[in-house]
Amino acid sequence: MPRMPLVFLVLLTVAGPAAAQDHSQHSAHVGKESREVKALADTEVAELLAGEGMGLALAAELNAYPGPRHVLDHATELDLTDAQRQAAQQIFDAMQARARSLGERIVEAERQLDGLFANRTVDSNRLRELTAAAGALRGELRFVHLQAHLETTALLSDHQVHLYDMVRGYRQHGGH
């Protein structure tokens, strides 16, 4: 083996663990300090502002309570009547409007919380107030999404719910 590659291999063997150790001391949060709202990824902010589901209704979705967006997406496969389509659309529109409003309020609460720390003006009373408000808003947002699933399921026959679960891949031809 030529001398240069052997020296390089020895250096890698010695320096490699030290370099890895140096890197492992960095926080997993490096880079997040430049976010506009530190506690929220840009994608989370966008989802909240758009009124998206973000998995908040999985308790319903995965237990045979279809949501309005996907019911509308699969209207043909589910053989929805015009009345069902219209009702599902109304549920979706109301849910999304409420979710967008709550999303804006959640982002604002997180922005205020971030500002208190950034400006070093945080105190326990204001901290409790803002975290409680943000938590309540998140709970309300989840309720809005779950409630839409509950309302949508009431529109459908048992057969349509079964078809929905099959189309979404939650069950095969058998039971749930």
CA distance 122 to 134: 16
pLDDT at position 22 is 55
Check whether 8 has a pLDDT greater than 60. Answer: no
Rounded average pLDDT over 7-26: 55
pLDDT at position 68 is 98
Q: Which residue has the higher pLDDT, 28 or 82?
A: 82
Rounded average pLDDT over 71-81: 98
Which residues are within 8 A (CB) of 52 and not within 5 positions of it... i.e. 6 or more apart? 99
pLDDT at position 15 is 53
Band (pLDDT 50/70/90 cuts) for residue 58 is: very high
pLDDT at position 13 is 53
pTM: 0.80
Band (pLDDT 50/70/90 cuts) for residue 173 is: low
CB 54 within 8 Å of CB 47: yes
Average pLDDT for the chain: 88
CA distance 146 to 66: 10
Check whether 100 has a pLDDT greater than 70. Answer: yes
Band (pLDDT 50/70/90 cuts) for residue 176 is: very low
What percent of the chain has a predicted confidence (pLDDT) above 70?
A: 84
Model confidence pLDDT, tens digit, residues 29-44: 887 776 778 889 999 9
Model confidence pLDDT, tens digit, residues 110-159: 999 999 999 999 999 999 999 999 999 999 999 999 999 999 999 999 99
Give me the residue label for tokens 């492992």: 24
48 CB burial (10 A radius; 0-12, 13-18, 19+): buried
CB 149 within 8 Å of CB 56: no
